[in-house]
């Protein structure tokens, strides 16, 4: 399944099309239009939702970190798992994106940035 945007079959690998071809489905805007060198990992909108029981028997959803791949994961052991961009955008794909995705122009700095790899 395609992970990146495919606007047309005429999309070439040239410089003008590069940001589009680097954009993952599920990103709020075009990759690389955000602050230089920043990735989604450092953005306040990049996280997963976890459910937590609350008093009275209800369940609330709280933002959480995606966790890390285990050492048995062949390609990226100890690396951050994918998470969603939770910036509310109409018709945005509901897809997990890697922490390495280049930041878009809707980037907002997260207060607590997770390391890309877990030590050990
Ligand atoms: S930089 Fe932030 S707003 Fe933009 S795609 Fe990544 S997580 Fe979403």
pLDDT, tens digit, 9 for 90 and up, residues 92-114: 889 999 999 999 999 999 999 99
27 Cβ closer than 6 Å to some ligand 1 atom: yes
Contact 106, 29 (CB under 8 A): yes
SS3 at position 96 = strand
31 Cβ closer than 6 Å to some ligand 1 atom: no
Residue ranges for the chain with pLDDT beneath 50: none
CA-based R_g, the chain, Å: 16
CA dihedral sign, ordered 88, 97, 81, 16 = negative
40 Cβ closer than 6 Å to some ligand 1 atom: yes
- How much is the pLDDT for 75? 83
Lookup: tokens for 95: 């897809």
- How much is the pLDDT for 67? 95
CA distance 31 to 97: 11
Lookup: tokens for 61: 């959803």
pLDDT in tens, 83-94: 999 999 998 889
Percentage helix, strand, coil for the chain under 3-state DSSP, each rounded to 5: 5, 25, 70
Cα 10 to middle of ligand 1, angstroms: 26
23 Cβ closer than 6 Å to some ligand 1 atom: no
Domains of the chain, residue spans: 1-120
SS3 at position 116 = coil
Lookup: tokens for 107: 């980037």
- How much is the pLDDT for 15? 76
CA distance 35 to 13: 22
107 Cβ closer than 6 Å to some ligand 1 atom: yes
Which atom of ligand 1 lies closest to the CA of 103?
A: 1
Closest CA to ligand 1's atom 6:
40
- How much is the pLDDT for 6? 64
């Amino acid at each position: 399944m395609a992970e990146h945007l495919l606007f047309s079959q005429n999309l070439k690998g040239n410089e003008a099309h590069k940001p589009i071809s680097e954009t993952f489905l599920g990103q709020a805007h075009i990759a690389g239009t955000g602050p230089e060198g920043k990735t989604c990992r450092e953005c306040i909108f990049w996280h997963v939702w976890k459910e937590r029981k609350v008093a009275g028997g209800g369940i609330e959803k709280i933002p959480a970190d995606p966790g890390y791949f285990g050492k048995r994961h062949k390609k990226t052991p100890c690396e951050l798992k994918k998470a969603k961009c939770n910036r509310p955008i109409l018709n945005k794909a509901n897809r997990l994106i890697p922490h390495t995705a280049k930041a878009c122009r809707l980037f907002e700095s997260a207060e607590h940035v997770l390391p890309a790899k877990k030590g050990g």
